[in-house]
């Protein structure tokens, strides 16, 4: 294939995360965002070492697997990949992707391992408990829009009023906020010019408690114009944000929300980067956090706290991880205790276990594992997440959880105790290459690795194999229905455990 040429072909399969393998004659090419069985036209934009990559131009014929577009934004919004497929078909694609990646990574493992398939989300639609919407326009110099970025674009914003991965409260809030700022004639923040007022709208809704937190993110510039760095009139900004607050409260007053607004915030962000962060946060109504419940425990979630975006599937994920941890040191009975029983029975025979939860975030896993160990030490680099973890552990009456703020790579040099079990839940890029030998060097009997990116997991597993570990079991968990992402849980064991280097 030649760069710059247009071809047509049939999508044979999709590799993780969204790489359609398209056959055109005797050659194949990677075309992202295509589905198995589709006939597509594509423009080759890269050829390297005989491998071609291309941009999808048109779906000429739909796949026999497609059952229609249940969302009017599908193909425009960059959020969903598999929305036109039946859910069971999507699960099969993700399962095949993860299994093939693990099989290649474990090809040198002599011992057999158990592949346990994929666990679907208990609620495949309307599952998101957090969304970050962007202000912008759908076309250049068009009217104000609020929603998600158009697929392949950093600038165009699609108003996703029909989004199917959030519930009706999100859609009503989205519509009301957009209508309010359109009526006020407020402009959005331009990424290239670095001027304008409106930047993002962050919405969190707890699936179990129904509590809703809404945060408007703006620059500090004049709402009706101004150049970068020009401070807006505080009275004008205050009046505009108070009107925004009242707009949302009216929704609740009219009974149009199923959940309960517990917090409305105004966040000022003058960063040049297109990220949701805070230079200053003002509470317009209520408080700056919500409460969520997960497997019998209660968690306080602030504006920027990390929490799994699918509460329903997170319970499946963490129950799976807890059951895998239960295999370590014959602790199955401890792990199968009722989730709400948080008592620590240090005198019980077979207890006295120390568990490391590395990349612990807000400590969700550590707290859910608290009944399986005498002590749990969580390590997380984000200090705000560590503070939230400590607060949530106290909220749940867990006295055997300790949380350390710091980079796993450095903290491991400071910890002198050898753990009995390790749970890993690293970011998408996986474990830092320099941290891997330190983790392997503990020589613990079992490690549970939770991954949100199977390609990173596959790479790290090769290092564990070289370090004397083997994979016993693995399972995929669909934490993100309709998107290309998937979680994986692996149980690793070391036959000659006990050698602490």
Catalytic residue list? 452
Degrees, nearest 5: CA angle 395-399-404: 90
Are the C-beta atoms of residues 481 and 166 closer than 8 Å to each other? no
Report d(CA 437, CA 366) in Å as an integer.
Answer: 23
Tokens found for residue 272:
């040049």
Neighbours of 353 (CB within 10 A): 20
Backbone angles phi, psi at 114, to 5 degrees: -105, 120
Tokens of 167: 């519930």
Q: Is 294 helix (H, G, I), strand (E, B) or coil?
A: strand
Q: Omega into 17 within 30° of 0, i.e. cis?
A: yes
Task: For residue 62, give the nearest of 80, 83, 76 by alpha carbon.
Answer: 83
Tell me the residue length of the chain. 501
Contact 364, 294 (CB under 8 A): yes
DSSP for 112-173, please give it.
--EEEEEE--S--SS-BSEEEEEEEESSTT--EEEEEEBTT-SS-EE--TT-SSS-HHHHHH
Query: What DSSP string runs through 342-377?
Result: ----TTSTT---EEEEES-TTSHHHHHTGGGSSEEE
């Amino acid at each position: 294939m030649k760069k710059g040429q247009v071809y047509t072909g049939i999508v044979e399969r999709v590799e993780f995360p969204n790489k359609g393998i398209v056959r055109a004659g005797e050659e194949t090419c990677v075309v992202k965002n295509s589905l198995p069985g589709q006939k597509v036209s594509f423009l080759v934009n890269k050829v390297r070492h005989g491998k071609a990559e291309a941009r999808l131009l048109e779906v000429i014929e739909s796949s026999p697997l497609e059952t229609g577009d249940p969302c009017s934004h599908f193909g425009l919004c960059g959020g969903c990949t598999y929305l036109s497929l039946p859910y069971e078909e999507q699960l099969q694609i993700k399962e095949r992707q993860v299994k093939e990646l693990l099989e290649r990574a474990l090809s040198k493992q002599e011992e057999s391992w158990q592949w346990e398939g994929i666990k679907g989300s208990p609620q495949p639609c309307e599952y998101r408990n957090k969304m970050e919407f962007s202000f912008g326009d759908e076309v250049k110099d068009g009217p104000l829009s609020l929603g998600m970025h158009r697929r392949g674009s950093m600038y165009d914003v699609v108003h996703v009023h029909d989004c199917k991965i959030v519930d009706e409260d999100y859609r009503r809030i989205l519509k009301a906020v957009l209508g309010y700022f359109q009526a006020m004639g407020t402009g959005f923040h331009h990424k290239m010019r670095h001027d304008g007022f409106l930047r993002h709208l962050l919405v969190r809704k707890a699936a179990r408690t129904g509590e809703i937190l809404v945060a408007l993110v703006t620059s500090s510039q004049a709402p009706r114009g101004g150049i970068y760095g020009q401070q807006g009139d505080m009275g004008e900004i205050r009046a505009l944000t108070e009107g925004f607050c009242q707009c949302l409260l009216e929704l609740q007053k009219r009974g149009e929300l199923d959940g309960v607004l517990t917090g409305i915030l105004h966040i000022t962000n003058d960063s040049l980067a297109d990220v949701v962060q805070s230079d200053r946060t003002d509470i317009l109504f209520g408080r700056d956090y919500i409460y969520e419940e997960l497997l019998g425990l209660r968690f306080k979630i602030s504006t920027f706290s990390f929490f799994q975006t699918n509460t329903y599937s997170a319970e499946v994920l963490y129950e799976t991880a807890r059951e895998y941890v239960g295999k370590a040191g014959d602790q199955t009975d401890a792990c199968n205790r009722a989730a709400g029983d948080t008592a620590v029975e240090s005198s019980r025979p077979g207890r006295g276990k120390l568990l490391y939860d590395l990349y612990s975030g807000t400590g969700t896993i550590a707290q859910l594992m608290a009944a399986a160990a005498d002590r749990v030490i969580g390590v997380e680099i984000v200090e705000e997440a560590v503070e939230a973890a400590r607060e949530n552990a106290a909220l749940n009456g867990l006295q055997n959880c300790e949380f350390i703020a710091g980079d796993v790579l450095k903290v491991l040099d400071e910890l002198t105790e050898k753990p009995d079990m390790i749970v890993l839940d690293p970011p998408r890029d996986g474990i830092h290459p320099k941290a891997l030998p330190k983790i392997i060097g503990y020589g613990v009997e079992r490690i549970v690795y939770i991954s949100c990116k199977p390609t990173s997991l596959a790479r790290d597993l090769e290092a564990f194999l070289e370090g004397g570990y083997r994979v016993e079991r693995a399972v995929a968990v669909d934490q993100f229905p309709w998107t290309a992402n998937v979680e994986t849980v692996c149980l690793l064991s070391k036959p000659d455990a006990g050698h602490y280097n």
